[in-house]
Amino acid sequence: MRTLADLPLEKRTIVTAIKESAIRPKLLEMGIYAGKSVEVLFKAPFGDPIAVNVDGYVLSMRLNEAQLIEVAD
Amino acid sequence: MKKIALFGNPNTGKSSIFNRLTGLKQHVGNFPGVTVDKQTGTFSYNNEKFELIDFPGTYSVYPRSSDEKIVFDVISNPQHTDYPDAVIVVVDASNLERNLLLFSQLYDLGLPTILLLNMTDVAARKEIAISIEELQNAFPATTIIRSNARIGTGIEEIKRVISENKLKTAEKPFGKQQALLSISDTEGQAVDTDERFHNIQQLVNNAVTRNQKLPSRSKKIDLWLTHPVVGYLFFFLLLLVIFQSVFTLASYPMDLIDGAFGSLSSFVAQQLPPGLFTDLLANGIIPGIGGVLVFVPQIALLFFLLSILEETGYMARVVFMMDRLMRPFGLNGKSVVPLISSAACAIPGIMSARTINSWQERLTTIFVAPLISCSARIPVYTLLIHLVIPNKLVGGFISLQGLVLFCLYFLGLIAALITAWVFQFFLKNKQLSIFLLELPPYKSPRWANVGIEVFSKAKVFVTDAGKIIVAISILLWALASFGPSNKIENAEKLIPKPSVQTETTQIAYEKQIAAVQLENSYIGIIGKSIEPIIAPIGYDWKMGICLITSFAAREVFVGSLATIYAIDQTEEDTTPLIERLREETKADGSKTYNLASGLSLLVFYVFAMQCMATLAVVKRETKSWKWPIIQLVYMGALAYVAAYIIYNLFQ
């Protein structure tokens, strides 16, 4: 299953699901839920964290957090 | 007085609204039982006064950290002392969907609400149009106000609406209320959040027409400022500017303050009749207050620069860039600025750690910051290095003395990082580490916010930490001025008066009296009594006295040595003191200040928590004596063990 962590830069896609985790409610609160349009804008110098365009605002997250977010191919 | 609460997501201009409403009528207090500061202020309308409480910015009422728990604690409990009469929810008009989550939760909790549509300028620039009618239909009980905090529109309307007292509570909730009342039911919360967003999405689809583009200017800037080479270079230069400001620029006003209080002190000593009260005033209280105010320029400058970084949105990028590097040490990307500032002085450094949102990472930063060598250690380092390190070159071009100085700084930095890493294992009930950080669009700072931030930080330091510093100053004065025997009063009789009265002999005479007085004071007695403890690391009782007096500030070590050895020296020129110390021998005829004891002292000063002002400010920032005491103990232990090893290695 493809996650936000391995999405190439500037490829717009749709969130399909969020994996079960303690961080899940927090991801939801930040407006990341199934059906949301997302795109990786740029990455920090070590490739982690990454900056994501969440439907009009920029949210940065660590790779382990991005791995919880499943996206459509 | 009616209590009004201010809520909102981070980066919605909430603090601008707070500053606009209250101006300088602000006060920092405590929420019961938590470490979060309670920022309150007052405003008046039609002769009625209101209290405004600024709650920490959150994305929902469910806490992600113990800090954010205060939001839930207050609003879910009508019996809470801070339970508000009404709430203003600041909502970013350019990101309505995410912002409405928090609003809908507060609306459903049955509080009278104002929905403040802020940043309407940004929304307009993003070509976002919002239908107020649709919003009003979805939340019939709320009062909607449009505002633009940057230019101040909407502020008078907020005051008017609040004073008219017509705010209503919701009759029909927007979502389900049950989940909102249970903090432990995370699954219920997730379901509720999901449903809320489902409803909000429908609402936003009807109420908002928009052009779905990101502001490209911010993205372009980000491609440079988070670039692996350019980004770090820029950040490095910025750190240099920050360091230089706190280190060099601040030294001018600091010297002025220092000089002014020195003059005031001698003026008082000369003008008032000699006696206990004059002595207390001239040598205890005035230097104590001076010792507080001397930190203000550094604090003001650092917070001036930091709040610009926060205001522009760059601070979030610093966290973004540094996270991977700081994560292994349990530190935050934002820890870099406090740690670098601590190389000038730990006081502003520790205070600046409050920009770190996670309590654990903030505490870790505060915990290790005093290990970074500050400028107050420099006089001690230079004196001891000149004293025991030969002035020669290593490898033909590197000064050995310079190399030792570099090693001391490096040692402090390494110790700070290792301590931070070890500290993680001692933290109980670790919080879930969540990064999830919004990178707000770049914007120019609002200078009123910067000014208010500088003012309030300086004020908090002077009023809160200042009290403790003055109290310890007076205690140290008393310990140095009194003793169990009458030798202090009789010092003048004990020292033979010089036979020839010249200025030089008179000064020498006075210095000898001062030396006898210090030796026989309580501090002198304590210094002597700890000799058995400090002998294994190579120190005698004279050094012991100086270790204690330098608790006031590390550089006092040099002055105290001069007093004990009755050396007449100026601050700039320590040559007479160095010459005198070189002659000092132990009972067995060997030198007191040799390589082993010198290095041991140097290492001791790298690690030991010899600074009451730092302890006072840690107490202020952590709201408990627990952490400063732990710091005092662990840094003291570290210093002792390291000094012991070094002394025995070189002996």
Task: List domains and CATH numbers for chain B.
Answer: 2-210 (3.40.50.300), 230-424 (no CATH), 469-650 (no CATH)
A-chain residues near B441 (CB < 8 A): 58
B-chain residues near A45 (CB < 8 A): 226-228, 231-232, 321, 324
At A30 the pLDDT is 92
Asked if B223 and A45 count as a contact pair (C-beta separation under 8 A), the reply is no
Tell me the CA distances in angstroms from A6 to A1, A39, A70, B185, one per residue in order. 10, 11, 10, 32
State whether A22 and B197 contact (CB < 8 Å). Answer: no
- Asked if B64 reaches chain A (Cβ–Cβ under 8 Å), the answer is yes
State whether B227 and A56 contact (CB < 8 Å). Answer: no
State whether A55 and B435 contact (CB < 8 Å). Answer: no
Burial of B199 (0-12, 13-18, 19+ CB in 10 A): middle
Task: For the beta carbon of residue A28, count every other beta carbon within 10 angstroms.
Answer: 23
Q: What's the start-to-end Cα distance of chain A, in Å?
A: 9
Chain A nearest-CA distance from B9, in A, is 10
Which contacts qualify for B531-537: CB closer than 8 Å, 24 or more apart?
B536/B644, B536/B647, B537/B597, B537/B600, B537/B604, B537/B640, B537/B643, B537/B644, B537/B647
Q: Hey, what amino acid is at B409?
A: Y
Task: For the beta carbon of residue B109, count every other beta carbon within 10 angstroms.
Answer: 20
- Asked if B218 reaches chain A (Cβ–Cβ under 8 Å), the answer is yes
- Asked if B234 reaches chain A (Cβ–Cβ under 8 Å), the answer is no
A-chain residues near B436 (CB < 8 A): 23, 26-27, 30, 59-61, 65
Distance CA B335, CA B371 (A): 14
Both structure tokens of B424 = 């993680």
Asked if B27 and B41 count as a contact pair (C-beta separation under 8 A), the reply is yes
B-chain residues near A22 (CB < 8 A): 186, 432
At B429 the pLDDT is 62
Chain A nearest-CA distance from B176, in A, is 16
Distance CA B93, CA B100 (A): 10
Asked if B563 and B512 count as a contact pair (C-beta separation under 8 A), the reply is no
Distance CA B22, CA B39 (A): 11
State whether B323 and A45 contact (CB < 8 Å). Answer: no
- Asked if B325 reaches chain A (Cβ–Cβ under 8 Å), the answer is yes
Helices B230-244 and B216-225, packing angle to 10 deg: 80
State whether A60 and B438 contact (CB < 8 Å). Answer: yes
State whether B62 and A29 contact (CB < 8 Å). Answer: yes
Find the mean pLDDT for residues A58-73: 94
Question: Number of Cβ pairs closer than 8 Å across A and B?
Answer: 105
Both structure tokens of A72 = 């459509």
- Asked if A72 reaches chain B (Cβ–Cβ under 8 Å), the answer is no
At B391 the pLDDT is 87
Chain B nearest-CA distance from A47, in A, is 9
Portion 1-40 of A in contact with B at CB < 8 A: 22-31, 33
A-chain residues near B97 (CB < 8 A): 31, 55
Task: For the beta carbon of residue B570, count every other beta carbon within 10 angstroms.
Answer: 8
Q: Is A48 strand, coil or helix?
A: coil
At B580 the pLDDT is 87
State whether B438 and A55 contact (CB < 8 Å). Answer: no
At B375 the pLDDT is 87
Residue with token string 């400058």:
B301
Low-confidence ranges of chain B (pLDDT < 50): none
**Domain A4-71 = CATH 3.40.50.150:** no
CA B419, B422, B428, B434 dihedral sign is positive
- Asked if B224 reaches chain A (Cβ–Cβ under 8 Å), the answer is no
**pLDDT, tens only, B79-102:** 999 999 999 999 998 889 999 999
Distance CA B456, CA B473 (A): 24
State whether B436 and A41 contact (CB < 8 Å). Answer: no
Chain B nearest-CA distance from A25, in A, is 5
